[in-house]
């Protein structure tokens, strides 16, 4: 992975948006795009979680501005290294699973 994942709690602005989003999780999957694994999930900042339909899923390349970095320590750095190492396999497995699910429906 070329860009390092940002820590939980980071506040970013996405391209073509004026709203800020706080990163709340990594590698989410959703029903809107079966088999696709996003880089991040997050909530509108400063509101935080309000409702399930207000969870944003987005990728690293959609981030235009990083307003603030979340907390970082040795545990977080270690976790990010492990997650980045596993991310490509997780994404490939999700795509393969979605392909298998799609074949079952035919």
pLDDT of residue 96: 86
pLDDT of residue 1: 37
Instruction: List the structure tokens of 33.
Output: 């795009």
52-69 confidence digits (pLDDT tens): 889 999 999 999 999 999
Angle at 94 between CA 93 and CA 96, to 5 degrees: 65
Percent of the chain with pLDDT over 70: 91
| Phi and psi at residue 39, to the nearest 5° | -75, -35
pLDDT at residue 105 above 50? no
Within the chain, residue ranges assigned H as helices are 74-104
6-50 confidence digits (pLDDT tens): 999 999 999 999 999 999 999 999 878 888 999 999 999 999 999
**Statement: the pTM of the whole predicted model exceeds 0.85:** no
Alpha-carbon distance of 15 to 61, in angstroms, equals 9
67-97 confidence digits (pLDDT tens): 999 999 999 999 999 999 899 889 888 888 8
């Amino acid at each position: 992975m070329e860009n390092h994942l940002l820590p939980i709690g980071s506040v970013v602005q996405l391209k073509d948006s004026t709203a800020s989003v706080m990163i709340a999780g990594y590698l989410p999957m959703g029903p809107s795009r079966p088999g696709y694994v996003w880089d991040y999930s997050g909530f509108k900042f400063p509101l935080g979680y309000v409702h399930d339909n207000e969870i944003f899923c987005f990728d690293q390349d959609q981030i235009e501005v990083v307003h603030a970095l979340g907390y970082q320590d040795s545990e977080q750095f270690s976790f990010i290294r492990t997650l980045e190492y596993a991310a490509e396999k997780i994404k490939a497995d999700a795509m393969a699973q979605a392909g298998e699910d799609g074949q079952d429906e035919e």
